[in-house]
Chains A and B, each alone.
Chain A
Amino acid sequence: MNSTIKRASVACLLMFGLLMLNINYLQAVKAEGLREDSRNNRSFFARYQNERGMITAGGETLAKSVDTKDSKFRFARKYFDGPVYAPVVGFFAPESTRGIENAADQYLAGTHPDLFVRRTVDLVTNKPTRGAAIDLTLVPKAQKVAYDDLRRSGKRGAVVALEPETGAILAMASAPSYDPNTMAAPDKAKAARAYNKLDANDNHPLRNRAIDETYAPGSTFKVVTSAAYLSDDDSRDENTSVDAPDSLPLPGTNISLPNYHGESCGGRATLLDALTISCNTAFANMALDMGYDRLAEQATKFGMGQELSIPLKVVPSNIGKDEGKAALAMTAIGQRDNQITPLQMAMVAAGVANQGKVMRPYLINKIVGPENDEISTARPKELDEAVSPEVAGELRNMMINVVQNGTGKAAQLPGMQVAGKTGTAETAKGAASHAWFIAFAPADAPKVAVAVFVESGSAGTDATGGAVAAPIAHDVMQAVLAK
């Protein structure tokens, strides 16, 4: 019988060999796919296994991970002043991330290559991996003022404040907003319900209006048109006068472009006056004089058309295609296909404030490792020189006049000069307008540049930039300067 027992042994050997081969296939070859299957909750739990880095701004904690000692969901994410910061900070949900939580995920989770040495040390010393903290450039007081001003009267809109010299984003508020805590619960179904509810809301609270959406900038765009016109010819200055009829027949059409509310600019106006009283026909004439290419080039120099990463993705602004003179006249006053983000308009104000140099906007001030070791600090970078210092000076004088004598009086601050420009953009025939205001202060040594945008219909049917947007800009600039 020994020969058959030996053959049976070979059969046993084969069975064990097959089992071994199969587990090698499963755990070495196929492991990756099994691990990452969406039905495998282990990767879901792994999201909560390590202490995620904090998100801070100006000494305040905006988001942090709290140890719950739970075996499945060890660290819970908590947000403070959620709605105020949500458009920037975003959220850390079971299956997705957004905002800074998304853009800086590798640092926050501790998986970034920059943290490799740290992780290795932790591995050797048997310490759990911890994420790095992200410190934002936001100024909490200004951010709160911006959000509260928008929210108070149920407005929809956005506020962006920049430091002209560096491009640091001092405030970026968007309303309506949401509480990220509702989506931070480690419960896929609950988080998905909260998300879907927000997503279905007609007011789109999940969108950061400052960077996710573009809007017709209205008269604030006249600063760009002025910049192009002044740069086009060195002999021009604020006192150069241009044709400013009460109504401008649009070439190639049988309609005419009127001034706002049919007001008169007196037939001819200096650049200074034209901007102060926001004379539509004067700027339409300037653009028709320069041509589309010149205006588009100027817009590009302010940063339009670029895909910026701050590190949140910014939707590129666009003044529209070259579609003839009638279209160009409308583009020059910020109408028609001219679509700009509030951040981009803040960059226009900041560029003028910074002697023509537009700085690359950024949100992350510094990244601090888990042992309080600084991993990186923001280094301001120039994006482009939009205008020469001389032209910037002329523009500043014109914008000062707007706040002192023109449509932007609501933005005046005590003890200093403020430069600004209002905008009231028509969205559709008969519909309420978007209200805009861009400004910087103090005008002689700018510390802050802002853009305020209030969406059409959210602040009454007769909303204007001067009445609705300028007071918000006033409060935000004051909050930054009082820092």
Chain B
Amino acid sequence: MTTADVAEAVPMTAKRRGAQLAMLAFAVAIVMAAYAGVGLGINDQVPAGMLGYGLGLGGLMLAAYLVLARFAPWADPLLLPLVTLVNGIGLVMIYRLEQAEMKGASASNQLFWTAVGVVVFSATLILLRDHRALQRMTYTAGFVGLGLLILPLVPFLGKEINGARIWVGVGGFSIQPGEFAKLALVVFFAGYLVAKRDVLALAGRRLLLIDLPRARDLGPVLITWAVSVGVLVLEKDLGTSLLLFGAFIAMIYIATQRTSWVLIGILLFVGGAFLAGQLFSHVEARFDVWLHPENNELYNRTYGGSYQLLQGLFGMGSGGILGTGLGQGHPDLIPLSFSDFIFAATGEELGLTGLMALLMVYALIVERGLRTAVAARDPFSKLLAGGLSFILAWQVFIIVGGVTNLIPLTGLVTPFMSQGGSALLSNWMLIALLVRMSDAARRPPPQAIQDEGLTQVFQR
């Protein structure tokens, strides 16, 4: 028997490292062209720092690539270039807003955090050789996640910024522990659901064509719901609350195949949202704004009004189909356009065309993650990869949907684009986990060469 026959017998996944490097170079080239575009748009000059920024980003991504090639050679070749592109476009938009002298926008800061993000990405790949180690830390992850979530409520430590108490001040930095809690909780959900999936899936009785779970199995769902509502009420953070609860429901569905969980989840959520709307004025205000953003009274309201949302919509409308071109619009008119509203700012300058491409890139990242989940070989990996991919898609949906007034606006960062270190680090970590799992999923299984008798040869 020849080696060709062996290859035919067991289909091999290709590493596609050359393609990955080419795609990465392409992504960096697009970002550099965008940098040049900003300068040309503002004062007809290629910005002086462009080469520095370009080489900096290129160097960082090359380092990330080398780590990936060494420690996760079978990983999905598209994930890193796609993330590089989104991260780079975010950097360009922040640079552009900084050029417009927008208060708070700092491209060098964001570049620094991107570098730290790449270090965290590399460190995760180097240190976490087998992600299944995380399964052993299920409950640790759960406690860490909960702890991080309630950290901002600790007196003197937590800080309230823009009405939401989701920040923790450490030294000169402000960090958003909720961003890291998100990762820890998905790990916990995955580990917990793998352990309990059989009982959650099978036990119960059939009522009105729906398989209802046993009352005592509702515990974890109710606890997550209570935590989410707690975040909503105590930290006034609608976004994180919605994000965590949605991710949990999706994962419990993936684990148990039971539609009743989704229905119970939606009922709990709608009930919670309705109650919150009745009890808390800031939740009700969000609904008013969502339904009537054009209302002048809401527009002129100083707190909880529609000014920001409408300015974002104005920006997107003014951008139209092709956009004003980088550096040629007025995205600095949109409050917080470098963080929560960076999508609207991008829409103004890159237009519908640019936003469709951007959403496509996000969709591709999610698709690569979900593909990893399908290809993964054990339930924990499947659930973790599926959960992480879903939470990414869900986060994009919540913030982009909010900014574009598809759903009520809740504050969340746009992954990889919004300015802010915490979100950038946690999302790079998320991608590292996906890369690690895709490496495990695509790595060819050990082949027994039967002609050699009982000798097994492992392939690296």
**Chain A: residues with CB nearer than 8 A to chain B?**
1-9, 11-13, 15-16, 18-20, 22-24, 26-28, 30-35, 37, 39-43, 45, 71-72
Contact = CB atoms under 8 A, between A and B. Distances in A.
Given A5-B370, A33-B317, A34-B314, A23 B347 contact: yes
Given A12-B367, A22-B404, A26-B313, 20 more contacts: A1-B254, A1-B379, A1-B382, A3-B257, A4-B254, A4-B255, A8-B254, A15-B394, A15-B401, A16-B397, A19-B396, A22-B405, A22-B406, A23-B316, A23-B352, A23-B355, A27-B321, A27-B355, A35-B314, A37-B314
Given A1-B254, A19-B397, A35-B317, A42 B383 contact: no
Contact of A5 (B315, B320, B352, B382): B382
A220 B12 CA distance: 105
A15 B363 CA distance: 10
A101 to B, nearest CB: 24
A40 B314 contact: yes
A41 B333 CA distance: 8
B330 A42 contact: yes
Interface string B352-374: 10011001001100110010011
Shortest 6 CB-CB contacts between residues of A and residues of B: A34-B317, A27-B352, A40-B314, A15-B397, A12-B393, A31-B317
19 contacts: A5-B254, A5-B382, A12-B389, A18-B401, A19-B359, A23-B404, A26-B347, A26-B404, A27-B319, A27-B320, A27-B355, A28-B352, A31-B316, A34-B313, A35-B314, A39-B314, A40-B318, A41-B333, A71-B42
Interface of B: 42, 100, 250, 253-255, 257, 294, 299, 310, 313-321, 329-330, 333, 347, 351-352, 355-356, 359, 362-363, 366-367, 370, 373-374, 379, 382-383, 386, 389-390, 393-394, 396-397, 400-401, 404-406
Contacts of B253: 4, 7-8
Contacts of A43: 318
Nearest to B296: A39
Nearest to B394: A15
B86 to A, nearest CB: 14
Nearest to B257: A4
Given A8-B250, A23-B356, A39-B310, A34 B318 contact: yes
Given A8-B254, A9-B370, A27-B347, A35 B404 contact: no
Contacts of B389: 12
A26 B317 contact: yes
Nearest to A34: B317
A22 B310 CA distance: 15
B316 A27 contact: yes
A16 B383 contact: no
B366 A12 contact: yes
Contacts of A20: 356, 359
B406 A18 contact: yes
A39 B307 CA distance: 10
A30 B317 contact: yes
A23 to B, nearest CB: 5
Task: Determine chain B's interface SS by DSSP, over half rule.
Answer: helix
B359 A27 contact: no
Nearest to A4: B254
B407 to A, nearest CB: 9
Given A9-B370, A26-B317, A27-B347, A16 B333 contact: no
B349 to A, nearest CB: 12
B299 A8 contact: no
A18 B317 CA distance: 18
A378 B409 CA distance: 58
A2 B405 CA distance: 33
A7 B255 CA distance: 12
A6 B250 CA distance: 12
B393 A15 contact: yes
Contacts of A40: 314, 317-318
A43 B315 CA distance: 11
Nearest to A27: B352
Chain B CB count within 10 A is highest, among A1, A30, A33, for A1
Contacts of B400: 19
Contacts of A23: 316, 347, 352, 355-356, 359, 404
A25 to B, nearest CB: 9
A31 B323 CA distance: 11
Contacts of B355: 23, 27
Contacts of B373: 5
A72 B330 contact: yes
Nearest to B310: A39
A72 B321 CA distance: 22
A4 B250 CA distance: 9
A45 B382 CA distance: 52
Given A22-B404, A23-B356, A23-B404, A12 B390 contact: yes
Given A3-B257, A27-B319, A16 B393 contact: yes
A34 to B, nearest CB: 3
Nearest to A22: B406
Nearest to A40: B314
A45 B329 CA distance: 10
Chain A CB count within 10 A is highest, among B317, B319, B362, B406, for B317
A39 B257 CA distance: 49
B99 to A, nearest CB: 9
A3 B394 CA distance: 19
A27 B354 CA distance: 11
A206 to B, nearest CB: 29
A423 B356 CA distance: 73
Nearest to B404: A22
Contacts of A8: 250, 253-254, 370, 386, 390
B401 A22 contact: yes
B343 to A, nearest CB: 9
A11 B389 CA distance: 12
A480 to B, nearest CB: 47
Contact of A16 (B255, B316, B359, B370): B359
A45 B253 CA distance: 51
Contacts of A31: 316-321
Contact of B318 (A9, A24, A35, A39): A35
Nearest to B313: A34
Contacts of A34: 313-314, 316-318
Contacts of A18: 397, 401, 406
A125 B356 CA distance: 29
A2 B257 CA distance: 10
B329 A42 contact: yes
A32 B313 CA distance: 11
Contacts of B329: 42
A19 B401 contact: yes
Contacts of A15: 393-394, 396-397, 401
A230 B460 CA distance: 117
Contacts of B397: 15-16, 18-19
A12 B363 contact: yes
A13 B390 CA distance: 11
A133 to B, nearest CB: 25
B313 A16 contact: no
B11 to A, nearest CB: 17
A71 B315 CA distance: 16
B374 A5 contact: yes
Nearest to A21: B406
Given A1-B254, A12-B393, A35 B379 contact: no
Contacts of B351: 27
Contacts of B363: 12-13, 16
A31 B366 CA distance: 29
A19 B347 CA distance: 13
A3 B386 CA distance: 12
Nearest to A32: B317
B198 to A, nearest CB: 12
A24 B347 CA distance: 11
B68 to A, nearest CB: 24
Given A19-B404, A27-B317, A12 B254 contact: no
Contact of A42 (B318, B366, B401): B318
